[in-house]
Structure 1
Amino acid sequence: MAIANRYNLVMSAPISTKVFTLALVTNLLGMSIYYDPTFAQVGEYCQFEREAIATKENLRNAVFQDTSKSRNLEATKEYQAIIKEHSQSLNTCRQKSWLKTQGIWLRLYPCDLLSGKLDEVMDRIVNKGYNQVFIEVLSDGKILLPLSENATAWNSLVLSEKYKNADLLKLAIAKGQERGIKVHAWIFTLNVGTGYGRGIDRNGLSKSTVARQNAIARNANGDSTISIVENLGKNSAGEVPTKDQLFVDPYNYQAQSDLYLAVNEVVKRKPDGVAFDYVRYKRGAGAASVVSNVRYLWIYGASSLQAFRDRAENFQGREIINRFLKQGYVTPNDLKFVKKLYPQETEPLWQGRQPSDQSGQKEPAIAYWQKELWQLAVGHAFIGVTYYLDTVSKPVFQQKIPASIAFFSDGNQPVGEGFDSRMQPWHLFTSSYEWQPMAYAVCGRSDCIVNQVLRAANYAPSGTKIAPILVGQWNEPFTNRPSLEVQMQAIRSAVPAITSISHFAFGWQTQEIEFSRSRQICKL
């Protein structure tokens, strides 16, 4: 009987579907275990029942642990059949559900190369009704590319010579797609990790070049994003500063070309999509989570400084910009000096400024110029991020692969007299990308979470796909947030057009914590 005819689906609320388990499972001892066909009820979130999960798990164990060739071949056939059945069941359920796409964010480990381990990871993802997974490809200064093929600025995640040809990303994509999961590559952008440029490349040359050192983002004191944020306490979101985050200067050509190459290698593996994360600057800790002086912006790398100065449209403008960058402010005397230095020019000009009518003023309105220069600095920081993103994402669009951006909906706004130090200009992102607002607000209810989603939806250009990212647990509150079900239903009520939501992260879910730890600590 064709698999398509084996389902009698009646989709309502709750949505249900019938999944026939396989009649025969071969166990490790060579004994045949017979199962009567059972019905695996798939609810509104398309999660499978325990019986169907157990049947699939037993078959998987038989395939990857049984040493008997004849029994293994039989179990393999049965296992592949149930994978296909569950894939079709999940797809049918999602088609009938308001939530067409339910995603999960996943970190892989070297031990996932062990026989059957990736199969187990993907089976668990399907069991919970997920039909999309975001696989962390570039983070913590490491990249998910084979050691033998890695020509990027990052070391491979798997460094074992025994597995130097193992392509964990390509394998994960295949395992996910086999189960009906859309597999997206999840890439850190401006946060390249402290491993950036460390080690030796395939030609035996050091990756730590002068050009890469110059690619690191810096403030006016020459600090990088790993040298001043420690011991400053938590930021406004309660986050503790980390030592493994290193951000680059988005105007720097070396930084752009390094990530471009990495993205190009990733798209060769043909993922179903590419998600860009950390499309922003680092958020400082303590008081530094808000920035109100240009000297504390991460725009003092050589390339960024040059681009800033080049925004001047006359000599007065260039000189006053230089003084603003050096001092963090300008004074009436600065304005008088540049006027005397370049008397042929009426006033300082730069991109975006129109000449002002200052006739009748005896003294320059210094507050006006301070505001103008600060807005120029914020705009310069914003434009750098968007330009960098558009540059490194080119291989994705060239291959017509969907691209998305994860962002904080409150990361682009003024805070008091200053600005959120993340300087995340998501309001400038185009509808070419799917928008993924990280709705991580904490208030004990869904209200604040929904408000973050609404803020993104209100700014989004017409036609923009919006797919919020949530944190939480199934069936229970977590860290002063409602359960995932409650959060999702609240979003559905507030923004009915949203049909795609993802959860962060697989390793954080209560049922997967122990499993994820075992994958992390084992040795190849």
Structure 2
Amino acid sequence: MPVTSISCLFALTLFTLTGSFTQSAFAQVGEYCQFEKEAIAHKDKLRMAAFQENNKSENSDKISAMKEYQALVTQHNQALNTCRQKSWLKTQGIWLRLYPCDLQSGKLEEVMDRIVNRGYNQVFVEVISNGTILLPMTANTTAWNSLVQSEKYKNADLLKLAIDKGRERGLKVHAWLFTMNVGIGYGQGFERNGISRQTVARQQALARNGNGDSTISIIENLGKNPNGEVPTKNQLFIDPYNYQAQSDLYLAAYEVAKRKPDGVAFDYVRYKRGAGAASVVSNVRYLWIYGHASLAALRDRAENFQGRELINRFLKQGYVTPTDLQAVKKLYPEESEPLWQGRRPTGKSISDKSPAIAYWQNELWRLVVGHAFIGVTHYLGIVSKPVLQQGIPASVAFFSDGNQPVGDGFDSRMQPWHLFPITYEWRPMAYAICGKPECIVAQIRRVFQYAPEGAEISPILLGQWNESFRDRPSLELQMQAIHQEFAAINSISHFSFGWQTRELAFSRSRQFCKL
């Protein structure tokens, strides 16, 4: 028998016979329910023994190691659950991207073990990443290519496996689904019948601004990970009013719901943020509402011909002038003033000196901002139906400052989270940077100020355990500050597993590995 097998059997025997070691195998430290180093090391050894490649003569050793490993996984599951019940923080989540090599023997188990070791009892598994989807090749009828492109693993359902492996360890496994950001892989490649996914309908499904640009050319700075990378190169946003875009993500959500995750988190429920000065928009031509479907829906908000004509001129020019008002009146003299949804008539003709042109500018701006907002909420309502109809909990990740006016303009993300219903759990991304927890707490406080009564609020944080990083306090300090300010919060998650310092090398090895 090889030396490695002997050492593994000795470790198993020691674990079985020594009561003191059994205790440390599932003990936790502190209020965040993290396992001790000895317990982690012991579980790692058992897992390696259970999944190592053995000769046939050593199968009995492998079976024995597997039983011991599974027993310890169960013990850690129970210990984590007990610890969380006693803690103010009932749910501690982590956001996770999977890679094809996670299908290797024992690798997905290692990922989930590492998550449990840190005291997490919830994980958000990314479903659409880099324009690919976490569905098996043989069961993928969506607008995205499957993440795993190996003939050997064409039937492998990595999402379902992640759900099963996570639950074995006491994790609530949520599917993390991008909504309006569909990735540059959207509509690329071919269907299983050989027909191209790149159709005219999908070209028209893309969000566009007044210059006809799609979002692929815009760089968005979301914040850097520990390696200083800004992961914005693969973003492609859709027109939320477009039927093709709605049906494509509806199908993806339907496939996710079939796998019965513990929840589905909808992310990128917004438009793309512009770069630099363009992060604030004050002109309609910079809004992403110039897709065919969005323009049609906006024009249909007019309630008379004067209203429709004035909307068209505003969309084309970015403003209207007194000359435009006179031209509109001349075109449709039988109508007293332009009307559209949400506008109260003044009772005065536009040929009157009052109201002034600034009034019409403001009314039109309010109309297009409201139109952009409604597109986001309407799209969310459609694509989340398969999830909610199955009784699966749904949540929405959002920026607390993404829905507000800035100076004379508006935050270009146009994220109307204040209009989200309490049907969804609210997950504000509290990513503020000021070197202290106060600015992070302030972002969450703003959510409470605008949230409807009964909304369940579970913040998402960036940072590192045990250390400050890039002017962000440690995760512990952030969570303690939140707990002191908001006693009602008992659920927090961290973005992301791959960005945590101690997981960087491990995540890199998984990312660049080849099946």
Q: TM-score range by the shorter chain?
A: over 0.9
User: Which digits, 9 at most, give the CA deviation of each residue in 1:438-479, with x for residues without a partner?
Assistant: 000000000000000111111111111100000011111011
For the residues of structure 1 that align with 2:279 and 2:313, how far apart are their CA atoms? 25
Correspondence 1:309 to 2:299: yes
Match of 2:430 in 1: 439
Match of 1:32 in 2: 10
* Helix, strand or coil at the partner of 1:275: strand
Match of 1:429 in 2: 420
Residue 316 of structure 1 and its aligned partner are, at CA, apart by: 0.6
Which residue, out of 457, 462, 465, partners 2:453?
Answer: 462
Which residue, out of 412, 417, 442, partners 1:451?
Answer: 442
After superposition, the Cα gap between the structure-2 partners of 1:235 and 1:159, relative to the gap in structure 1 and judged at 3 Å, is closer
Unaligned runs of 5+ in 1: 1-25
For the residues of structure 2 that align with 1:440 and 1:201, how far apart are their CA atoms? 39
Residue 93 of structure 1 and its aligned partner are, at CA, apart by: 0.6
Match of 2:30 in 1: 43
Which residue, out of 160, 164, 171, partners 2:154?
Answer: 164
Amino acid at match of 1:63: A
Report the number of matched residues.
497
Residue 30 of structure 1 and its aligned partner are, at CA, apart by: 6.0
Amino acid at match of 1:32: F
Correspondence 1:518 to 2:513: no
* Helix, strand or coil at the partner of 1:32: helix
- Whether the 8 Å contact between 2:336 and 2:348 is mirrored in structure 1 is no
- Whether the 8 Å contact between 1:27 and 1:61 is mirrored in structure 2 is no
After superposition, the Cα gap between the structure-2 partners of 1:235 and 1:183, relative to the gap in structure 1 and judged at 3 Å, is closer
Match of 1:120 in 2: 110
* Helix, strand or coil at the partner of 2:68: helix
- Whether the 8 Å contact between 1:249 and 1:303 is mirrored in structure 2 is yes
For the residues of structure 1 that align with 2:230 and 2:319, how far apart are their CA atoms? 31
- Whether the 8 Å contact between 2:337 and 2:348 is mirrored in structure 1 is no
Residue 393 of structure 1 and its aligned partner are, at CA, apart by: 0.1
Which residue, out of 306, 330, 344, partners 1:340?
Answer: 330
For the residues of structure 1 that align with 2:353 and 2:204, how far apart are their CA atoms? 44
- Whether the 8 Å contact between 2:209 and 2:285 is mirrored in structure 1 is yes
Match of 1:19 in 2: none
- Whether the 8 Å contact between 2:221 and 2:232 is mirrored in structure 1 is no
Match of 2:257 in 1: 267
Residue 236 of structure 1 and its aligned partner are, at CA, apart by: 10
After superposition, the Cα gap between the structure-2 partners of 1:241 and 1:380, relative to the gap in structure 1 and judged at 3 Å, is farther
Match of 1:147 in 2: 137
After superposition, the Cα gap between the structure-2 partners of 1:353 and 1:116, relative to the gap in structure 1 and judged at 3 Å, is same
* Helix, strand or coil at the partner of 2:66: helix
Match of 1:373 in 2: 364
Correspondence 1:355 to 2:345: yes
- Whether the 8 Å contact between 1:226 and 1:244 is mirrored in structure 2 is yes
Match of 1:211 in 2: 201
Which residue, out of 265, 289, 297, partners 1:299?
Answer: 289
Which residue, out of 58, 62, 68, partners 2:49?
Answer: 62
Amino acid at match of 2:411: D
For the residues of structure 1 that align with 2:6 and 2:46, how far apart are their CA atoms? 10
User: Which digits, 9 at most, give the CA deviation of each residue in 1:287-346, with x for residues without a partner?
Assistant: 111111001100000000000000001111011011111111111111111112111111
Amino acid at match of 1:467: S
After superposition, the Cα gap between the structure-2 partners of 1:143 and 1:98, relative to the gap in structure 1 and judged at 3 Å, is same
Residue 239 of structure 1 and its aligned partner are, at CA, apart by: 9.4
Correspondence 1:197 to 2:187: yes
Amino acid at match of 1:127: N
For the residues of structure 2 that align with 1:279 and 1:366, how far apart are their CA atoms? 34
User: Which digits, 9 at most, give the CA deviation of each residue in 1:365-409, with x for residues without a partner?
Assistant: 100000000010000000000000000000000000000000000
Match of 2:471 in 1: 480
Match of 1:101 in 2: 91
User: Which digits, 9 at most, give the CA deviation of each residue in 1:38-72, with x for residues without a partner?
Assistant: 33233200001111111111110110005121111
After superposition, the Cα gap between the structure-2 partners of 1:239 and 1:32, relative to the gap in structure 1 and judged at 3 Å, is closer
For the residues of structure 1 that align with 2:8 and 2:208, how far apart are their CA atoms? 63
For the residues of structure 1 that align with 2:69 and 2:288, how far apart are their CA atoms? 52
What is the identity percentage for the equivalent residue pairs of Structure 1 and Structure 2? 73
Residue 497 of structure 1 and its aligned partner are, at CA, apart by: 0.1
* Helix, strand or coil at the partner of 1:103: strand
Residue 358 of structure 1 and its aligned partner are, at CA, apart by: 3.7
Normalised by the size of structure 2, how large is the TM-score? 0.94
For the residues of structure 2 that align with 1:82 and 1:430, how far apart are their CA atoms? 41
Which residue, out of 108, 132, 135, partners 2:125?
Answer: 135
Amino acid at match of 2:208: R
Alignment of 1:213-292 (within 5 A): 213-227=203-217, 229-230=218-219, 242-292=232-282
After superposition, the Cα gap between the structure-2 partners of 1:452 and 1:28, relative to the gap in structure 1 and judged at 3 Å, is farther
Match of 1:393 in 2: 384
Match of 1:52 in 2: 39
User: Which digits, 9 at most, give the CA deviation of each residue in 1:235-293, with x for residues without a partner?
Assistant: 89999683311000000000000000001001111100000000000001011111110
* Helix, strand or coil at the partner of 2:476: helix
Unaligned runs of 5+ in 2: none
- Whether the 8 Å contact between 1:103 and 1:134 is mirrored in structure 2 is yes
* Helix, strand or coil at the partner of 2:45: helix
For the residues of structure 1 that align with 2:122 and 2:395, how far apart are their CA atoms? 13
Residue 220 of structure 1 and its aligned partner are, at CA, apart by: 1.1
For the residues of structure 2 that align with 1:296 and 1:376, how far apart are their CA atoms? 15
- Whether the 8 Å contact between 1:276 and 1:404 is mirrored in structure 2 is yes
- Whether the 8 Å contact between 1:386 and 1:425 is mirrored in structure 2 is yes
